Chain A
Amino acid sequence: MPRIGRLLHGAGLLAVFAVTIFPFYWMVSSSFKTQTDLLASPPVWLFTPTLANYADVFADQKVVGAIVNSLVVAVFSTGLAVVLGTPAAFALARYEFRGKSDLWFWFISNRFISPIVLALPIYLVAQNIGLLDTHLVLILVYITFILPIVVWICTDQFRSIPRDLEEAARLEGASQFDIFWRIYLPLGVPGIAVSAIFGFIFSWNELLYALVLTRRAVQTAPVVATSFMSGYELPWGKIMATGTVIVLPVTIFALLVSRHMVRGLTMGATK
Chain B
Amino acid sequence: MSTARPRRSPSGYGRLTPLWFLAPAVLALLVIGIYPTLFAAVTSLRRYNLTRSRDGFPFVGLDNYQQVLSDPTFWETLGRTAKFFLCVMPFEIALGLGIALLLHQPGLGGLRALARVSLVVPLATTYAVVGLLGRLIFNRDFGIANSFIGLFGLPSFDWLGNSAGAFAAICVMDVWQWTPFCALIFLSGLSMVPVEIEEAARLETASKIALLRNVQLPYLLPGLTAMLILRSADVLKLFDVVFTMTRGGPGAATELISVYIQRVGFRVFDLGTASAQALLLLIITIILARVYIRFFYREIE
Contact = CB atoms under 8 A, between A and B. Distances in A.
Interface of A: 6, 9-10, 12-14, 16-17, 19-21, 23-24, 26-27, 30, 38-43, 83-85, 87-88, 90-92, 95, 97, 101, 103-125, 140-141, 143-144, 147, 151, 170, 176, 180, 201, 204-205, 207-208, 211-212, 221-223, 225-226, 228-229, 236, 239-240, 243, 246-247, 250-251, 253-255, 258, 261-262, 265-266, 268-271
A113 B129 contact: no
B39 A20 contact: no
B289 A114 contact: no
Contact of A270 (B29, B111, B188, B278): B188
A271 B188 CA distance: 7
A95 B20 CA distance: 12
- Which residue among A20, A87, A124, A125 has the maximum number of chain B CB atoms within 10 Å of its CB? A20
Interface stretch (B64-72, B115-123, B162-170): B115-123
Nearest to A128: B39
B281 interface: yes
A250 B237 CA distance: 21
B125 A109 contact: no
Interface stretch (B10-18, B83-91, B194-202): B10-18
Contacts of A122: 32, 36
A265 B292 CA distance: 14
Interface residues of B, number: 104
A142 to B, nearest CB: 9
A117 B288 contact: no
A112 B288 contact: yes
B136 interface: yes
Contact of A23 (B40, B143, B150, B176): B176
B219 to A, nearest CB: 10
Contacts of A85: 25
Given A10-B111, A117-B281, A270-B226, 15 more contacts: A9-B107, A10-B108, A12-B98, A39-B141, A88-B24, A88-B25, A95-B13, A119-B265, A205-B124, A207-B239, A222-B129, A225-B244, A229-B244, A243-B126, A255-B120
Given A110-B33, A122-B36, A255 B281 contact: no
Contacts of B292: 112, 269
Contact of A104 (B33, B137, B184, B297): B297
Contact of B222 (A91, A114, A258, A269): A269
Given A109-B293, A144-B29, A222 B128 contact: yes
A239 B244 CA distance: 12
- Which residue among A109, A123, A207 has the maximum number of chain B CB atoms within 10 Å of its CB? A207
Interface of B: 12-13, 15, 17-18, 20-22, 24-26, 28-29, 32-33, 35-40, 43, 98-99, 102-103, 105, 107-108, 111-112, 114-133, 135-137, 141-144, 146-147, 150, 176, 180-181, 184-185, 188-189, 192, 222-223, 226, 230, 233, 236-237, 239-240, 243-244, 258, 261-262, 265-266, 271, 274-275, 278-279, 281-282, 285-286, 288-290, 292-293, 295-297, 300-301
Contacts of B300: 101, 104
Contacts of A19: 176
Task: Please name the 3 residue pairs, one residue from A and one from B, whose CB atoms are nearest each other, closest first.
Answer: A254-B124, A121-B36, A121-B40
A51 to B, nearest CB: 19
Given A84-B24, A121-B40, A212-B262, A26 B115 contact: no
